[in-house]
Amino acid sequence: MTDDDGDYRIERDSLGEMEVPADAYWGAQTQRAVGNFPVSGLTFQRRFIRALGIVKKAAAEANLELGLLEEDKADPILEAATEVIDGEHDDQFPVDIFQTGSGTSSNMNANEVIANRATEIYGGEIGSREIHPNDHVNYGQSSNDVIPTAMHVAALEAVEKDVMPGLETLAAELEAKEAAFDDVVKTGRTHLQDATPVRLGQEFGGYRTQIEKGIERVGATKERLGELALGGTATGTGLNTHPEFPKLAAENISAETGLEFREADNHFEAQAAHDAMSEAHSALRTVAGSMNKIANDLRLLASGPRNGLGEIEQPENQPGSSIMPGKINPVVAESVNQVHKQVLGNDTAVSAGAARGEIDLNLYKPVLAYNFLQSASLIANSAEVFGERFVGKLEANADYCRKRVDQSMALATALNPAIGYDAASKVAKKALEEGKSVREVAVGEGYLSEAEADEVLDPRAMTERVILGADE
């Protein structure tokens, strides 16, 4: 039924009639949710909508195979669900993130969109329920197992297809600089004070390792994200679903995504707790912290260009100041810093929400899903941009680094085995007081000959595990 002006149609649910926009595929329950939750203006991301389509398609395939859904009804559902998977109906998912904690509104949103679109494909009239959102699209399912299943599908796809490639790009760029800067000897720094020499390539090797370990940490969560709640229905018992449904549906989801999914070890755990989401987001938080550390370090090393550390030259990504001509700022690195802070905030929401499952159902599902996917997207995008537009374009100020090393008081550390700690301290203090190098004082005061100084005070040699000047 449509109004005279064609602006809306009448849809029905168990509470009665609702006016729904005439051109919408969603139905009464979705419309009620739009009215009930005008909270944030935030709606689910593409990955989650895609996951809902995947779950509904997999469920329909399983029910068809089990003889629980007639082929003439199943085929339109499969076609409509595929359209949702492909992103053809993203504008049909208007429900706010801050909704019922089970995500029922979003599950019904998917059921209604797929049912109405399938009815249209079937040759019926939208809203007629010839293909029913509950009886057909949601058959053998509950919001309580659909939404956590979609959470895991979306999260694992985000990890595998977004986060991992982004981090691998960053790791590769860091590895390239590790090799390129291997011969650049520079001043090490501890407590932000001069320390014994290092090679710039060694520092970048540390950064590369951080990101590679981050990839391992994120990857280690995939097995538990691969567990699916589908088949537990309302409370975890599996009431109203076929005993073979969970296994078949999981196999169908694996086939659709190309990733490994399986039925949850325990459906009560899968629906009442979301430890896997918390664990996986913790890995995202850790790698965001690694990226933040690297970005901060590179900002410091590139500080200047004349009155900072100035050991590396940053790319000129954009003009840095609206008032200071010629100024270039580390804008990409600063973007990474900000991503880290957002991910930290998201982690608080995810960890707190995951810890509040009450009896047989966790009621923080939508906010868990949204924040996880936001963090995954931020990390994936910023890692790729950071690698390609900042790290990959860095240059080393090799001559400047070497000059500063030669003037470093920390070179006196290498004197310890040769002349002892106390004498080395005297050399360092005298060099600092008189504005001389450690080498000049050590030779001038007779602690070392020129030949001995060449061996003991070789900055390049100090970057290896060695005791310089020790008797062989």
Residue positions annotated with a catalytic role:
191, 321
* Cβ atoms < 10 Å from Cβ of 254: 17
Are 290 and 187 in contact by the 8 Å Cβ rule? The answer is: no
- C-alpha to C-alpha distance for 161 and 147, rounded to whole angstroms: 21
Computed on alpha carbons and rounded to an integer, the radius of gyration of the chain in Å comes to 30
DSSP for 289-306, please give it: HHHHHHHHHHHHHT--SS
Which runs of consecutive H residues, i.e. helices, occur in 193-330? 200-219, 222-225, 245-257, 267-272, 275-301
- C-alpha to C-alpha distance for 428 and 415, rounded to whole angstroms: 10
- C-alpha to C-alpha distance for 294 and 301, rounded to whole angstroms: 10
Structure tokens at 416: 């310890």
| DSSP assignment letter at 160 | I
Sign of the dihedral through C-alpha 33, 87, 117, 75: negative
H/E stretch holding 13 reads strand 8-13
- C-alpha to C-alpha distance for 16 and 18, rounded to whole angstroms: 7
How far is CA 19 from its chain centroid? Answer: 39
User: Residue 249: which of 64, 46, 48 has the closest Cα?
Assistant: 64
What is the number of alpha carbons within 13 Å of residue 24 lying toward its C-beta?
24
- C-alpha to C-alpha distance for 431 and 407, rounded to whole angstroms: 9
Structure tokens at 87: 């992103």
DSSP for 345-371, please give it: HHHHHHHHHHTTEETTEES-HHHHHHH
Are 250 and 188 in contact by the 8 Å Cβ rule? The answer is: no
- C-alpha to C-alpha distance for 25 and 30, rounded to whole angstroms: 10
Q: Amino acid letter at 191?
A: H
